[in-house]
Amino acid sequence: MEVFRTREELSRWTTERRLRDRVLVPTMGALHRGHTSLFDRASDLAGETGEVLASIFVNPTQFGPNEDFDAYPRQLEQDLTQCERHGVTAVFAPGPGEMYLPDASISITETKLSNHLCGASRPGHFDGVCLVVAKLFLLTQPSAAVFGEKDFQQLAIIRRLVRDLNFPIKIIGAETVRESDGLAMSSRNTYLSPEDRKQAPVIQQTLAETAEAITSGSMKTPADALATMRSGIERARGAKIDYLAAVDASTLEALSEFGSSPIRLLAAVYFGKTRLIDNVGVPLSPSES
Ligand code: PAF
């Protein structure tokens, strides 16, 4: 008989037995190459013997009253074709009444990572994400789940959810997939007018240039980085900045200086009514790596 005295020992044991069994990719549908790259990653993880489960559910609890829940693109048939092409073994696509009982009364609130960045302009958003992701984890019992780094704050919060509620699930962050001009793939890109679509790559370009300047040592402080990001993005016609941030990549805390913490630059920018988010990591300079 094996006896486990620590969470780590228990988790290692459960992971060894369950990893590659079932890999979950939660989505809200309207699938694009960003999502299918998550399926591909999940297929690699699952290997020959494992299975990839995709969920498709436009989750009402993560949308604010004035957000785009009703307008959010829904295209189940097309999505199912994409899933099939990318090695998904099964899809969970619950109907609107399936996930929440009308008198449901339990919520989940993450209190440290959720209040700033996207949480500041989308109050309650991450409560809704935590709730649906916890329910999906419980319903689907995966050994691992894959989330895109494009929603960097969401990824950090889900890691925290898993850590604090002891879900025996490995969370995998997958790199953002981009259009050829650098714009991060998003279901919301379809809302952009042709002119806004032309301007929108400025977000990634500015973040990437700033990251490079930090790595090369020519940009010395977070304040300088934020000022450069602001002036770069504001040059684009129609861009309205929601937030810009230079944070510690693991705690999401705003940095007051560049030291040994891993740096992540994040931005949320409106073009018209469409709010786009993006982020880039700052590679270590060769002398530090
Ligand atoms: O990133 C998303 O698409 C959603 O927030 C998620 C994780 C599927 C929860 O509804």
Question: Which atom of ligand 1 sits closest to the CA of residue 59?
Answer: 10
Instruction: Write out pLDDT tens, residues 39-77.
Output: 999 999 999 999 999 999 999 999 999 999 999 999 999
Q: Does residue 118 line the site of ligand 1, with CB under 6 A?
A: no
Within 13 Å and on the Cβ side, how many CA atoms surround 6?
3
pLDDT at 17: 61
pLDDT score of 250 more than 80: yes
* CATH class in words for 187-280: alpha beta
pLDDT at 229: 98
Angle between helices 33-46 and 76-85 (to 10 degrees): 40
pLDDT band at 285 (very low <50, low <70, confident <90, very high): confident
pLDDT at 286: 63
Distance from C-alpha of 171 to C-alpha of 154, rounded to nearest angstrom = 12
pLDDT, mean of residues 163-168: 96
Asked if 147 contacts 26 with a C-beta cutoff of 8 angstroms, the reply is yes
Residue-range domain boundaries for the chain: 2-174, 187-280
Return the active site residues.
35
Q: Does residue 129 line the site of ligand 1, with CB under 6 A?
A: yes
Q: Does residue 133 line the site of ligand 1, with CB under 6 A?
A: yes
pLDDT-above-70 percentage for the chain: 96
In this predicted structure, which of 138-147, 157-166, 194-203, 264-273 has the lowest mean pLDDT? 138-147
Q: Does domain 2-174 have CATH number 2.120.10.80?
A: no
pLDDT band at 228 (very low <50, low <70, confident <90, very high): very high
